[in-house]
Amino acid sequence: MKRLLLATVLCLSAPAAFAQPPSGCLNCGPHQAAPTPASTATLPADAPVKTELDNVFTQLGDQVKRADTLLKQLRETAARKPEDVAQQVQTSTMVLSGLVDKLKQNGDIAGQLGAVRNAASAHLKRVQEMAKGTIDEEDRTKILSAWQSVLQGADTGQANMATMRDSLNAALSSLRERSLAIGELALAGQYQQVIDSFNHWIGDLKNTVDSLHQLIGTPTS
């Protein structure tokens, strides 16, 4: 069992364990089209842009919930054994890698956010260019303000997504370092320190998840 623990942890520590999933895997599928770059994404002319923006923020919140669920599962394992650590490192790696992938700059959420911004910018320009007398000027001001608010929301979403991605990437990088240390500790027969090292990382993950809740304005559990 101890040799199995060491072999599993060292395997997880290898760079290949953190590579992008190959074609045909469960995450990407063999024929899935590449996501549309955020800079070129568009929405239909009659799309409810504000609703689309709200949907993006909901998806960002869902990513934090996934990280929160992982944290809860790890913290609820009170009677942790060395052999549990290898499995939990593997699970944590898969979950965090998936979250980072969801938040990447050319991913689906970024594409949706780019489409929202493009649509809001186009509508703003259209209303600005309406000839005088076409629309009441007081109404024009209100409409322009509404579109500017959507643009600001899209910018906030882009900034939040980048912060979330950086934070989760840092947690994943820290886990890689911990897994290497855990392998060395297991090799030296320091099994309590294996557990202590992973528990310390869980504490760091809690701080990360709490900061993400604060970033998007959701309550911590």
Structure confidence by residue, pLDDT tens digits, 16-66: 333 333 333 333 333 344 444 555 566 766 668 999 999 999 999 999 999
> Residue 143: what pLDDT?
96
Q: Closest Cα to residue 153, out of 39, 59, 38, 54?
A: 54
pLDDT band at 142 (very low <50, low <70, confident <90, very high): very high
> Residue 151: what pLDDT?
96
Give dist(CA 200, CA 118) in Å, integer.
Answer: 43
> Residue 48: what pLDDT?
87
Q: Are 160 and 190 in contact (CB under 8 A)?
A: no
Q: Are 21 and 101 in contact (CB under 8 A)?
A: no
> Helices 137-187 and 108-128 meet at what angle, rounded to 10?
160
Mean pLDDT computed over 149-156: 96
Mean pLDDT of the chain: 82
Give dist(CA 96, CA 99) in Å, integer.
Answer: 5
Give dist(CA 123, CA 144) in Å, integer.
Answer: 9
- pLDDT (tens digit, 9 = 90+) per residue, 180-203? 999 899 889 998 999 999 999 999
pLDDT band at 84 (very low <50, low <70, confident <90, very high): confident
pTM: 0.77
Amino acid letter, residue 145: S
- pLDDT (tens digit, 9 = 90+) per residue, 9-26? 444 444 433 333 333 333
